A and B are shown apart, each in its own frame.
Chain A
Amino acid sequence: MAAETGTPTTLTLKSNDDELFSVAESAAILSVTIRNMVEDGCAGGVIPLDNVDGKTLASVITYMNGISAIPADEEKKKSYRDKFLSDKDFETLADMVLAANYLNMSCLMDAVSAKIAQVMEKKSVGWVRRKFGIENDYTPEEEAAVKEEHKWTFEGVETDDDN
């Protein structure tokens, strides 16, 4: 471990499209999946991450380095996360949430989930269906029944988009 040897240990991560990345162990172990591999002694050579592509992994590593450089200050970490995610499109966010889930990085997972939820906030059902390409497989009768069952949800929810 870095603290014991005095020199920072570097890990090599491999994406599913065979891109290699070096990253400081201290940053990489933000991922519980990677931490477990390190602790089990499986981190000697290259760590293959079969569920993450190179583009997403590069982004996740940027995040790992950025957030681990910030000392224990929740507010600063939060503002870093907000800034990090601010320019990401939905496509990237979806990749990131899958990667964060696979890598078991709860802080990134929570931040990306919250960000995606923000897109859905105060939007009508029709808007969300269109935005996310969700196919409505209810018959009109079924849909009416679901609406009836969840009647309380449609009271007082203001949507700021057309239906």
Chain B
Amino acid sequence: MGGKRVRIDSNSPAKKCAKIYLGDDDRISELPDDILVDIISYLSLKEAACTSVLSSRWLNLWKHTHSLNFEAGSGIDKVAMQLRNERKGERLKYIAWVNHILQSHESATLKEFRICFDLSKSSQKAITKWLAYAFSRQVQRVEVDLSSNLDNRRARPLRYSFPKELLDQNNRGVVSSNFKSLKALSLNRVNVSSEAIEFFLRNCPLLEQLTVHNEKELSNLEVWGSSLVLKHLEITDCDKLRSLKVSAPNLTSFKFSMLWGEVLLENVPMLVDVSVSGAYSIYSDKKLLHTLSCCIFQLEILTLLLGRPEEIIQLAEFPQMPKLKKLVIQCDSLHDRSIIALTSFISACPYLEEFVLKLCAYVRKSLVGQIDKTKKFPHQHLKVVKFCGFYSRSSDVELVEYFIDNCVVLEKVIVDCSYESYFADDPVTPFRLSVEQFTRDEVKQHLEAKVRRHIELVIL
């Protein structure tokens, strides 16, 4: 990363040459062991362990790092591509690797512990043992990410369940002080009971960040308490969840998926950043407004990940959001009429500074002349507009023109013609590339002349 290169320069003073001979930055050997451990804790586990080969002083330093990040690398993809038996082999290899490291690692405390591999119920014992290890070292941040690329296939393996025995204070070896240092807990594709989550909320006085993603058993969850220090909460893709109640006085960011049931927010005076995803059948603006009713006027960042276009139109029903600075809208598709309807939504946010629209416009419909150009609405603060999935339909162009015409302090317009979230897995074909290039050329033609000189136009 940008290190000075050894350069033999006949004009450089002799002293400098002598130094180069030793290595240009030989100060590292003067640092005490504990600082070297701090430094290599920022390397990946593999790279940290690689330092053992540098010299005998470095042999065991990596065993004291305060971070254990079992990043799988390409392992997860390998599992997905392989036949069943080989898949098992790949998993066993990962388990053996983690076990091997935990046996040789010697740090008494841990800042970070991360498991990241396609593992299921069949590895229950091993994973539980790892978690017990991490908690017994007063770990601060735990992430268990068992996401799998196989989940869309028919035979879905049973999931790993967060172990009750780990939290049972009557159980020998479970000490409540083990949880006192926990600041962040993130579970992905791990089944967890509401009792377990409540245990963490009650017993971890420093818990600032909680993430539960892709969970399939939770039905009711309450994140509730006047003494919670929780700042960031993410409860997403929990299909069975019927009711979620949140009351956390220090919460600043909240990411959730709309539920069939209710998401209730209360006592969140610090909340400024909300992200909502809603599958098209679940989303309703009424429901969302009901959830956000206690905080909508204080929001500074709002992200809406929506399922289908019709919902956008209803956004016009939103009240004014006087503090909103950044708005992100992502949808699978959007009809022209909906795009135009966005303008009234945006005009309800007078202090907006940044607007991002991410479209996967796989329908190329074109209607003409939707924006009422006689209605001017000068935005006084909007500086950055980003449009991903620009297809140069007439309405796309019109929307960008609307911003150029109405935003007094606009500095940057970013138009990304290659954004395709919906078809992310599709191969990049020459045909697709040529369509993108065609769009880019069109955008240039349409917009370059219209963009005033002080506005930066970026076409991706």
Contacts and interface: CB of A to CB of B under 8 A. Distances in A.
Contacts of B29: 132-135
B42 A117 contact: yes
Nearest to B47: A157
Size range of the chain B interface in the assembly: 35 or more
B427 interface: no
Given A121-B47, A131-B25, A133-B23, A138 B35 contact: no
A83 interface: no
A118 B73 CA distance: 19
Interface in B1-38: 1-4, 6, 22-32, 34-35, 38
Contacts of B40: 117, 120
B47 A94 contact: no
Instruction: Report whether over half of chain A's contact residues are helix, strand or loop; otherwise say mixed.
Output: helix
B28 A94 contact: yes
Contact of B53 (A90, A94, A101, A125): A125
A109 interface: yes
A89 B19 CA distance: 15
Interface in A122-163: 122-123, 125, 128-138, 142-143, 146-147, 149-150, 152-157
Interface string A39-50: 000000000000
Interface in A78-116: 89-91, 94, 97-98, 101, 109-110, 113-114, 116
Given A90-B27, A94-B27, A120-B43, A113 B35 contact: yes
Given A91-B27, A121-B43, A156-B46, A133 B22 contact: yes
A119 interface: yes
B374 interface: no
Interface residues of A, number: 43
Contacts of B58: 134
B50 interface: yes
Contacts of A154: 50
B25 A91 contact: yes
B28 to A, nearest CB: 4
Nearest to B96: A152
For the residues of B in contact with A, the DSSP-based class is helix
Contact of A117 (B22, B25, B43): B43
B154 interface: no
A133 to B, nearest CB: 3
Nearest to A101: B35
Contacts of A147: 53
Contacts of A120: 39-40, 43, 47, 51
B59 A113 contact: no
Contacts of B28: 90, 94, 116, 132-134
A101 B37 CA distance: 13
Contacts of B158: none
B3 A131 contact: yes
A118 B2 CA distance: 9
Given A130-B6, A132-B25, A149-B52, 12 more contacts: A90-B25, A94-B31, A120-B51, A121-B1, A122-B47, A125-B54, A132-B27, A132-B28, A136-B55, A137-B57, A152-B97, A157-B44
19 contacts: A90-B3, A97-B35, A101-B32, A117-B41, A117-B42, A120-B51, A121-B43, A125-B54, A132-B23, A132-B25, A133-B22, A133-B28, A134-B29, A135-B29, A143-B53, A146-B53, A150-B52, A154-B50, A156-B46
Interface of B: 1-4, 6, 22-32, 34-35, 38-44, 46-47, 49-59, 73-74, 97, 100
Interchain residue pairs A-B with the least CB separation, the first 10:
A133-B23, A133-B26, A117-B42, A90-B25, A132-B28, A94-B27, A153-B49, A133-B22, A113-B38, A118-B1
